[in-house]
């Protein structure tokens, strides 16, 4: 607890990030990542494989933009720094693990930005969502964009904050979560370079016998195309979130999201069946390194 308090107090973050709860959420994520390091290792390996394939497919390697860089565990930063002239890590706050990793590479920059575009709306400075990625989408030198497991997370803080506001405010912004998810996908579609999407789509509560007892849509009803790889991410093993169930997320990797969209949309859920959630790995569905 003391480490979390010190991290919250000492992390360079804007007043907006503190008021909207983004800093608190980032610290909570860091704390859980430490406790669940072994359970997350297979998920992170899948993510690295997808990103590596995306890098290999880039014809030019000038700038790489990582959206939702977080703790920089989902992407192989050393590889990106080696292959690209510039790497930009974009997130609303950057905790000390991310800052330490970035300092190892002279061509890696940290960009503090709320990619949801919801901050001004939530703080009564605007009536709609902003377009925070517009300036990046207009840059032809960005040859690779990585949306790093942030799509399902973008709406969490805005929707949570909205639910604590007046009923009039809630009515005025009905569907905010879906608009944020759709807005992020629309922003990705505007980039001329390759887009690599890492995301989860469904959350499953799994009992000790491996039975799925509840399923949640994490993308506000927004459908995704068929991915290049799908796997189960053991987000919270038994005892981490609850004593009677673990939490497993259906995760997906898109080496080239533009190409995936061109192929068409498809459901991302897989109902029923038993799901494994334990240390040290999660269940593997598709080998992202396979041809």
pLDDT digits (tens, 9 = 90+) for 174-224: 889 999 999 999 999 999 999 999 999 999 999 999 999 999 999 999 999
- Residue-level pLDDT at 251: 98
The domain containing residue 187 runs over which residues? 2-266
The domain that contains 69 carries what CATH number? 3.40.50
Give me the chain's average pLDDT, please: 88
239 domain residue, yes or no: yes
Q: Specify if 223 maps to a domain.
A: yes
Question: pLDDT by residue (tens digit) across 122-152?
Answer: 888 988 899 999 999 999 999 999 999 999 9
Domain count, the chain: 1
In a domain, 261, yes or no: yes
Q: Looking at the predicted structure, is the pLDDT value of residue 269 above 60?
A: no
Give the tokens for residue 66.
Answer: 């990582």
- Domain membership of residue 275 (yes or no) is no
**How sure is the predictor about 29, in pLDDT bands with cuts at 50, 70 and 90?**
confident
pTM for the structure as a whole: 0.88
DSSP 256-284: -HHHHHHH-EE-----SSB--B-SS-B-B
Tell whether 237 is covered by a domain.
yes
SS3 215: strand
83 domain-assigned: yes
Q: Give pLDDT tens digits for 89-116.
A: 999 999 999 999 999 999 999 999 999 9
Q: Is residue 284 part of a domain?
A: no
Question: In this structure, what token pair is assigned to residue 224?
Answer: 């995704």
Length of the chain: 291
């Amino acid at each position: 607890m003391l480490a979390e308090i010190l991290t919250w107090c000492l992390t360079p973050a804007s007043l907006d990030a503190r008021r909207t709860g983004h800093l608190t959420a980032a610290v909570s994520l860091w704390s859980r990542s430490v406790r669940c390091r072994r359970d997350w290792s297979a998920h992170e390996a899948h993510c690295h494989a997808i990103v590596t394939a995306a890098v290999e497919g880039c014809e030019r390697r000038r700038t790489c933009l990582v959206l939702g860089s977080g703790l920089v565990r989902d992407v192989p930063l050393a590889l990106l720094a080696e292959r690209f002239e510039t790497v930009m890590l974009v997130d609303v706050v950057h905790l000390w693990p991310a800052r330490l990793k970035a300092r190892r590479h002279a061509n890696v920059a940290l960009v503090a930005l709320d990619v949801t575009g919801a901050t001004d709306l939530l703080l009564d400075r605007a009536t709609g969502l902003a377009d925070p990625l517009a300036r990046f989408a207009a840059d032809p030198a960005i040859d690779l964009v990585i949306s790093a497991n942030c799509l399902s997370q973008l709406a969490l803080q805005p929707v949570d904050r909205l639910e604590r506001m007046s009923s009039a405010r809630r009515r005025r912004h009905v569907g905010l979560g879906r608009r944020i998810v759709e807005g992020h996908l629309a922003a990705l579609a505007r980039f001329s370079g390759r887009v690599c999407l890492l995301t989860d789509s469904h959350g499953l509560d799994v009992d000790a016998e491996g039975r799925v007892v509840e399923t949640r849509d994490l993308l506000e009803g927004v459908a995704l195309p068929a991915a290049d790889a799908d796997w189960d991410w053991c987000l919270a093993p038994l005892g981490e979130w609850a004593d009677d169930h673990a939490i497993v997320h259906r995760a997906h990797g898109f080496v080239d999201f533009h190409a995936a969209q061109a192929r068409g949309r498809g459901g991302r859920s897989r109902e029923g069946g038993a799901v494994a959630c334990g240390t040290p790995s999660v269940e593997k569905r598709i080998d992202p390194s396979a041809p």
